Amino acid sequence: ATTFDEFTKLVVTKSRGGSGGPKLVFTPIQLNVNKRDITFANQLFINNEFVDASDTSRVLRTINPNDESVICSVQSATKGDVDRAVKAANDAFESGEWPLMNARDRGKLMFRLADLMEQHKEELATIESIDSGAVYTLAIKTHIDSKLSVCRSTRGSGAVYTLAIKTHIGMSIDTWRYFAGWCDKIQGSTIPINNARPNRNLSFTKKEPIGVCGIITPWNYPLMMVSWKMAACLAAGNTVVLKPAQVSPLTALKLAELSVYAGFPPGVINILPGTGSVCGQAIADHPLVRKLGFTGSTPIGQTIMKSCAESNMKRVSLELGGKSPLIIFNDADLDRAVRHAMGAVFFNKGENCIAAGRLFVEQSIHDQFVSRVLEETKKIKIGDPLDRSTSHGPQNHRAHLEKLVEYAQIGVKEGAKLVYGGAQVDRPGLFFTPTIFTAVTDDMYIAREESFGPIMIVSTFPDGDVDGVLRRANATEFGLASGVFTRDISKALYVTEKVNAGTCFVNCYNKTDVAAPFGGFKQSGFGKDLGQEALNEYLKTKTITIEY
Ligand code: NDP
């Protein structure tokens, strides 16, 4: 038992003649990192067991982006393995313990999983940190404004809130608890319909689970993306086959392990590390999968939607890329605007789907804004994400880093003004300097395309031209998020009305919450994660009509 709570439970259970709870036999990878022992599986998780892939000759190498060392190799699922997992999920949905379970008991399992995640949160945060470069401790606040930080560290007062723990792991735990609470509140409605006189009629709807759901997640917030989708999917009563991103699969495998200890029946949760082209594609194509939830790039979203249509018309929800506009008016609180704009771009090293892809700053404050941002950006501490003083960690993987270097080079070639950064940091590991471009015009590549990295793209607009800047902000095929900074409430509300994006932040940014629906418009996809609306993505409505 790795925690005191688990240890005492085990002692009590064994002293009463119990077996000590569900057993899971596997050989974990064991490491000592971040001054703690961590363990996790590196196999496929099917039917509550860790098993080898049917082809063990092709494994995925998981790399620590801090120094490019190999953490371990992970099994890679084949098409046959996907079939095995889908059949297990289908059996669990059709005939196992899961469909017989009361909704409230389903909620209890999810609460129990959240409690186990809480007990293991430092371990989960450490795994996330070495696997994806997530900064373990928060520090973005210290060099921006300790009073009004994007995230807060309260070291010394007992609690230390850390980025990996608070955002990556903390929000994952909150998500499981939030959806656990929904399990016994999924309701239909009673609908007045015309009576077939002289008889009378009654019509009502029931919300039912869809069946086996496929979920495919990206690498930027590995555990959080898994949790956002899987918690809603299970709360609705479905079973799941999930493929995490091949470059960052480890926390998903740790979650699989904890789900057994939480008591989930076999086949309800199946997690298949593997490649998108083989494992992901096989999930999208599988005839027994009835719904697919996806977060990732727009081009792969298009491929998936096509596969879902052609295979069996499975339902699909897509959370795709973004190029979110952030408009800063000259009447904004400048300190606040600078602080949040930096968070909007640099948070999680820019690997953030709602990152502000483009800043529009009103002409009269442009120079002052840029010089303030520059001053603060120079203070950002780049380093090992496990180091408690680091605020900016390495990019997730090499191909992504190389894409960012190329992106910055394109910006320079196009004639944008490179004010800061623009290159890989001269040290081992996959570090990219927080970067600032100004004088960016609408036709440039960097004004149109998402970087998914710590690159601030600043354009300006004439004072007072609210409609003009809105036209430019909306002139994109993306529509994930947006933001506005102004002290004028009417102007702020006007922007929220006119901006064509799924989320609009006013005088804040990145303020997502498990209870607030999240998802995009246009080519940023459709369907919501989080909030009550996310449940509907994983439910079907049945209408029942009675004549009496
Ligand atoms: P992808 O869209 O390529 O990958 C997302 C997930 O889809 C991964 O698990 C991937 O597998 C899988 N996948 C790839 N091909 C297929 C397929 N044919 N069928 C089913 N699944 C598939 O995104 P990337 O991770 O490569 O990132 C590229 C860009 O996408 C980023 O630079 C960013 O612009 C955007 N992005 C947006 C995110 C968001 O939150 N909206 C998140 C991540 C990326 P595999 O592990 O093999 O790659």
283 C-alpha to ligand 1 centroid (Å): 14
What's the CA gap between 8 and 67, in Å, rounded? 39
Nearest-angstrom CA–CA distance, 394 and 133: 5
- Which CATH number covers residue 85? 3.40.605.10
Atom of ligand 1 nearest to the CA of 303: 18
Closest CA to ligand 1's atom 19: 281
Q: Which two tokens stand for residue 463?
A: 């004072």
Query: Same structural domain for residues 466 and 480?
Result: yes
Distance between start and end Cα atoms, the chain: 59
Does 440 share its domain with 495? Answer: yes
Q: Are 60 and 275 in contact (CB under 8 A)?
A: yes
Whether residue 548 is contained in a domain is answered as no
Burial (CB count <10 Å: 0-12, 13-18, 19+), residue 548: exposed
Are both 41 and 185 inside the same structural domain?
yes
Give residues with Cβ within 8 angstroms of 337, minimum separation 6.
Answer: 328, 369, 485
- Judgement on whether residues 178 and 273 belong to the same structural domain of the protein: yes
Dihedral of the alpha carbons of 400, 318, 512, 398, in degrees to the nearest 10: -10
Residue 307 sits in the same domain as residue 331: no
Report yes or no on 336 lying in a domain: yes
Let me know if residue 153 belongs to a domain. Answer: no
> CA 420, CA 468: separation in Å to the nearest integer?
28
Regarding whether 337 and 231 lie in a shared domain, the answer is no
Q: Specify the pTM.
A: 0.93
* pLDDT tens sequence for the chain (548 residues): 667 877 887 788 778 776 666 789 999 999 999 999 999 999 999 999 999 999 999 999 999 999 999 999 999 999 999 999 999 999 999 998 999 999 999 999 999 999 999 999 999 999 999 999 999 974 223 333 333 333 333 333 333 335 667 789 999 999 999 999 999 999 999 999 999 889 999 999 999 999 999 999 999 999 999 999 999 999 999 999 999 999 999 999 999 999 999 999 999 999 999 999 999 999 999 999 999 999 999 999 999 999 999 999 999 999 999 999 999 999 999 999 999 999 999 999 999 999 999 999 999 999 999 999 999 999 999 999 999 899 999 999 999 999 999 999 999 999 999 999 999 999 999 999 999 999 999 999 999 999 999 999 999 999 999 999 999 999 999 999 999 999 999 999 999 999 999 999 999 999 999 999 999 999 999 999 999 999 999 999 999 999 99
Q: Which atom of ligand 1 is nearest to the CA of 217?
A: 9
Q: Do 257 and 306 lie in a common domain? A: yes
Same domain for 493 and 393: yes
**Ligand 1 centre and the CA of 296: distance in Å?**
4
H helical segments located in 97-211: 103-119, 121-132, 163, 171-182
CATH code, 431: 3.40.309.10
Ligand 1 pocket (Cβ < 6 Å) reads: 216-220, 243, 245-246, 275-277, 280-281, 284, 295-297, 300, 303-304, 319-321, 353, 450, 452
**Rounded CA gap, 249 and 44, in Å?**
11
Tell me: do 400 and 492 sit in the same domain: yes
Dist CA 99 CA 186 (whole Å): 15
The answer to whether residue 17 is domain-embedded is no
Residues 383 and 257 occupy one common structural domain: no
Same domain, 386 and 409: yes
The answer to whether residue 547 sits within a structural domain is no
Q: Which of 123, 128, 257, 319 is catalytic?
A: 319
Structure tokens at 537: 């993505």
What single-letter DSSP state applies at residue 198? Answer: T
Distance 430 CA to ligand 1 centre (A): 19
* Structural domain harbouring 204: 22-142+159-320+529-539
The Cβ-side half-sphere exposure at 488, using a 13 Å CA radius, reads 10
Nearest-CA residue for ligand 1 atom 9 is: 245
Q: Is 497 a catalytic residue?
A: no
Atom of ligand 1 nearest to the CA of 399: 26
Residues 392 and 430 in one domain: yes
The type of residue at 379 is K
Specify if 173 maps to a domain. yes
For residue 67, what is the DSSP state? T
* Total number of residues shown for the chain: 548
In angstroms, what is the span from residue 254 Cα to ligand 1's centroid? Answer: 21
Q: What is the DSSP letter of 526?
A: E
Interval between CA 297 and ligand 1 midpoint (Å): 5
- By most ligand atoms within 8 Å of CB, the mutation choice from 248, 300, 303, 307 for ligand 1 is 300
How many domains, in total, are found in the chain? 2
- Preceding peptide of 198 cis, ω within 30°: yes
Residue nearest to atom 44 of ligand 1 (CA): 296
Tell whether 418 is covered by a domain.
yes
Mutate to test the pocket of ligand 1, among 79, 220, 227, 297 (most ligand atoms within 8 A of CB): 297
* CA of residue 489 to ligand 1 center, whole Å: 38
Is 7 part of any domain?
A: no
